[in-house]
Amino acid sequence: MTTSQPASGRCPAHAGRPARPDQPLPIYGPEFNADPHATYAQLREQGPIAPVEISPGVWGYLTTTYRSARYLLQNTPNRFAKDPCHWHALANGQVPADSPALMMMQPRDNALWMDGREHARLRHAITSSLARVDTHALAATVTAIADQLIDAVAPAGACDLVAQYADPLPMLTVIEMFGTPPEIGHRITTTLARLFDADQDAAAANADLETACLALTRLKRASPRRDVTSWLIEAGLTDEEMVQTILLVIGAATTPSSNLIMNALQRIITDPRFAGSVHDGVQPVCDALDEVLWTDPPVSNYSPLYALGQQTFEGVTLQPGYPILVSFAAANGDPSLGLTPTSYAGNRGHLAFSAGVHACPAPDLARTIAETAVERALDRLPHLTLAYTPLTRRPATFNSGFTALPVHFQPTAPLTPTGR
């Protein structure tokens, strides 16, 4: 959820507010990344919403309970706004320009950062288009993409399931869902890689990305097909709205889906309750996905919200002007829910896909992508074991995933001899 140019000039400046709340705990850095739940437990002791340092010099609050997360999400946009124009530190130029939080939390001209009628209009275009995706055809697409990726590694008997499988698969799938021809698809994937490469010119990469999305839009306006781009056009979006919406959906779909695939594979390979049973088909992959969505949600903390005026929740005073991140991970791990390892299978009460007006519009598509990808890897890579431990986690402030998932397996022949 990080692509496209930040919106500018939409927000009034807010002067004279302190940027730092009292006694914040950091939700970044090696200690936090290694065990985020230890920090969530400490924060929960302070209250249902507690002060945090989101990244160096960026202050805000985090929800620590299931109730507080739901309260904020379900009272948006009446009591809480999504639009970062309410973020005082941003308006006052107090957020470091190179902050990782800025990349994830600054305003952009798409539905994710809007409130009210504009959000509803753009979201309706997205939900009505995604609702037309045929999940059986999607599963077939994912299987074909999975097979290409697996063909490239199967004979070697070893690979990194993050770099060579979980990361590329959702991106290739979404590009296919948008009916993107190979040349434009290649431009989108390479410019996205440039955007995240610190050595590259981000502004130039961003401009190239928008040009590629505009080319896709013009192509589909001229000759519509049965794909998400054509359905978004049919929903009445302008060229500019098309570009920003394509970038939103690509950004929103890919990283969380990659995380779910790698987190589920890691759990299945390493947890004795799954190791063996899922491989043998005794316990279905969907149970492992449910458990991971509860205990290791792909989007750990996000949906920054801003109190509209001073408010109180369960005795905590919420001042306007500060971002309050919703912790999907802390909500799902809230001990007051009384969950045990047997509570998860088939239980969709988790907040991994958020809730309320900005809830993920595609949980079923996400599950189809992840379930098909995990099943295909287990089917085609027999006797998966980790090549080494411990694994390293990616920065856990907003997402939950691994930097690498190095595995050994029994070498097999590719389905397509050239490894196409």
SS3 state at 325: strand
Residue 249 is a binding residue for ligand HEM (CB under 6 A): yes
What is d(CA 242, CA 69) in angstroms, rounded to the nearest whole number? Answer: 31
Q: Binding residue for ligand HEM (CB under 6 A) from 7, 126, 192, 278?
A: 126
For β-strands 58-63 and 80-81, DSSP reports them as: unpaired
Q: Considering beta carbons, is residue 159 or 228 the nearer one to ligand HEM?
A: 228
Q: Binding residue for ligand HEM (CB under 6 A) from 48, 84, 185, 256?
A: 256
Q: Considering beta carbons, is residue 91 or 299 the nearer one to ligand HEM?
A: 299
Query: Phi and psi for 242 in degrees, rounded to 5?
Result: -60, -50
Q: Minimal CB distance to ligand HEM: which residue?
A: 360
The size of the interface with ligand HEM (CB under 6 A), counted in residues, is 27
* Max Cα distance, the chain (Å): 66
**Nearest distance from C-beta of residue 253 to ligand HEM, angstroms:** 3
**Nearest distance from C-beta of residue 250 to ligand HEM, angstroms:** 8
Going by C-beta distance under 8 Å and a sequence separation of 6 or more, which residues neighbour residue 241?
122, 125
Q: Considering beta carbons, is residue 152 or 360 the nearer one to ligand HEM?
A: 360
Residue 108 is a binding residue for ligand HEM (CB under 6 A): no
Q: Which of residues 336-395 bind ligand HEM (CB under 6 A)?
A: 352-354, 358, 360-362, 365-366, 370
**Nearest distance from C-beta of residue 158 to ligand HEM, angstroms:** 26
Strand partners, 324: 61, 305
Burial class (CB in 10 A: 0-12, 13-18, 19+), 48: buried
**Nearest distance from C-beta of residue 119 to ligand HEM, angstroms:** 6
Query: Phi and psi for 404 in degrees, rounded to 5?
Result: -155, 155
What is d(CA 325, CA 334) in angstroms, rounded to the nearest whole number? Answer: 16
What is d(CA 299, CA 170) in angstroms, rounded to the nearest whole number? Answer: 15
Residue 267 is a binding residue for ligand HEM (CB under 6 A): no
Binding mask 207-246 for ligand HEM (x = CB under 6 A): ----------------------------------------
For 266, the token pair is 């890691």
Query: Which single residue is written with the structure tokens 């995380």?
Result: 259
What is d(CA 258, CA 267) in angstroms, rounded to the nearest whole number? Answer: 14
What is d(CA 259, CA 295) in angstroms, rounded to the nearest whole number? Answer: 13
* Cβ neighbours of 72 (radius 10 Å): 25
Residue 402 is a binding residue for ligand HEM (CB under 6 A): no
Q: Considering beta carbons, is residue 205 or 324 the nearer one to ligand HEM?
A: 324
Q: Considering beta carbons, is residue 256 or 323 the nearer one to ligand HEM?
A: 256
The torsion region of residue 116 among left (phi > 0), alpha (psi -120 to 50) and beta comes to left
Q: Please report, as ranges, the residues that interact with ligand HEM according to CB under 6 A.
A: 111-112, 123, 126, 130, 248-249, 252-253, 256-257, 260, 298-299, 302-303, 328, 352-354, 358, 360-362, 365-366, 370
